[in-house]
Structure 1
Amino acid sequence: MKKLIPLLLAFLCLAGCSQTKSHQNTAKGGEKMSSKVLFINASQNKDGNTVKMGKDLLNGTSYDQINLIDYRIGFLGQKLKDDQFKEVTDLVKQADTIVIGTPVYWHSMSGALKTLIDRASEDTSSNPFKGKKLYFFMQGAAPTELSKESTVYIIQRFANQLGMELKGTATDSNQLQKLKTTLENDK
């Protein structure tokens, strides 16, 4: 663990110091996206480590970002009058590429991401995810191998069930750089 801390700090500095060529936060309320790449931040922090990793991954790519924490999305089976799941899926419809980043909370993805996956899997007849390219990464201080494997497995099943092309996953900084290369080569 002591060996990982300097490596993690160096990576976070690199991620935080990098600049994006073009980035625009997508406002709530059904606005049009300015790009065809949508970064879904599944962290409770709008400018935390997950966002820093997303910026590093997408450096040089024009993208829009949404923070799931900004949307009220009910749990599977819950009927909320002010549910905003459709607002999120309307943005997904506009994108060709989806990048999802999540922190590791209690050895798995964030609850916000799990809720989004549950809801997206609820009704596949009006599937806005179908045909999208999907890139996924997770970040955390020291996720276990089991938490990495189980989270990636869920993302693989999610992509498969909804007809997305899973281009790659990253569970550490080395894999994130490989994922960045894949994303750049896919432009």
Structure 2
Amino acid sequence: MNKTVIIQASSRSHGDTSKVVNYIASKNSFDVIDLHKKNIGHYDYDYKNKDDDFFDLITNIVEHYDTIIFATPVYWYSMSGILKVFFDRITDILRIHKDTGRKLRGKNMAMVSCSNFDDLKEGFSMPFYETANYLGMNYLGDVHTYVENESIKKEVKQRINDFFSTINNLQ
């Protein structure tokens, strides 16, 4: 299979992160899922949100993709709230949909962060790396991008190209 999907996790479907995601997807023929367009409720211990979009979405992801790339803007030195909710909901497939959760083992994960400057703080990627480790996924790495004046600078595009050239060789 070896298909790749980018999970775009911005509060704006057409913001800076989407510029980067669209650039990556067009260069690599990756599919894109926009979490902003999904109805995914917060995790709770009583599974009150079991009928929202999360289970169908995660089932589709684990059934059709080998590599999952999370693309998030940097909000207050961390991943976006939308992506944090998505990560929290992974608990659902570890506790009540265990067969689906087990299908994440051996899959690949990578992360793309986006902001307005080349100033990502150390430790930003830790939740991604540790989540991949916990789930038995292969963490392929991460790349920080930034958009200035509504465009991706040439050096940022080169950084993206180099990163994806490297991870495509790891898969």
Q: TM-score, normalised by structure 1?
A: 0.71
CA distance in structure 2 between the partners assigned to 1:121 and 1:176 by the alignment: 31
Question: Which residue in 1 is equivalent to 2:152?
Answer: none
Question: Which residue in 2 is equivalent to 1:136?
Answer: 111
User: C-alpha displacement at 1:38, in angstroms?
Assistant: 1.1
CA distance in structure 2 between the partners assigned to 1:58 and 1:180 by the alignment: 11
User: C-alpha displacement at 1:51, in angstroms?
Assistant: 1.8
- Alignment check: 8 A CA contact 1:108 1:150 kept: no
User: C-alpha displacement at 1:86, in angstroms?
Assistant: 0.7
1:112-143 per-residue CA deviation (whole Å, 9 max, x = no partner) reads: 10011111145423314222111211001137
1:37-92 per-residue CA deviation (whole Å, 9 max, x = no partner) reads: 11100012222221221233333322221111111112121512641111210221
> Cα 1:81–1:91, aligned 2, differ >3 Å: closer, same or farther?
closer
- Alignment check: 8 A CA contact 2:43 2:49 kept: no
Q: Where does the alignment leave 5 or more consecutive residues of structure 2 unmatched?
A: 146-155
CA distance in structure 2 between the partners assigned to 1:63 and 1:175 by the alignment: 18
CA distance in structure 2 between the partners assigned to 1:131 and 1:92 by the alignment: 14
CA distance in structure 1 between the partners assigned to 2:167 and 2:108 by the alignment: 10
The question of 1:88 aligning with 2:61 is answered no
- Alignment check: 8 A CA contact 2:5 2:68 kept: yes
> Cα 1:186–1:59, aligned 2, differ >3 Å: closer, same or farther?
farther
Matched pairs, number: 151
- Report the 3-state secondary structure (helix = DSSP H, G, I; strand = E; otherwise coil) of the residue aligned with 1:151: coil
- Larger RCO (CA within 8 A; separation ≥ 6): 2
User: C-alpha displacement at 1:158, in angstroms?
Assistant: 0.8
The question of 1:161 aligning with 2:128 is answered no
1:4-42 per-residue CA deviation (whole Å, 9 max, x = no partner) reads: xxxxxxxxxxxxxxxxxxxxxxxxxxxxxxx82111000
Q: State the superposition RMSD in angstroms.
A: 2.3
Q: TM-score, normalised by structure 2?
A: 0.76
- Alignment check: 8 A CA contact 2:25 2:32 kept: no
CA distance in structure 1 between the partners assigned to 2:27 and 2:118 by the alignment: 28
- Report the 3-state secondary structure (helix = DSSP H, G, I; strand = E; otherwise coil) of the residue aligned with 1:46: coil
Question: Which residue in 1 is equivalent to 2:162?
Answer: 178
CA distance in structure 1 between the partners assigned to 2:110 and 2:72 by the alignment: 12
User: C-alpha displacement at 1:151, in angstroms?
Assistant: 2.4
- Report the 3-state secondary structure (helix = DSSP H, G, I; strand = E; otherwise coil) of the residue aligned with 2:110: strand
Question: Which residue in 2 is equivalent to 1:105?
Answer: 75
Identity over aligned pairs, percent = 30
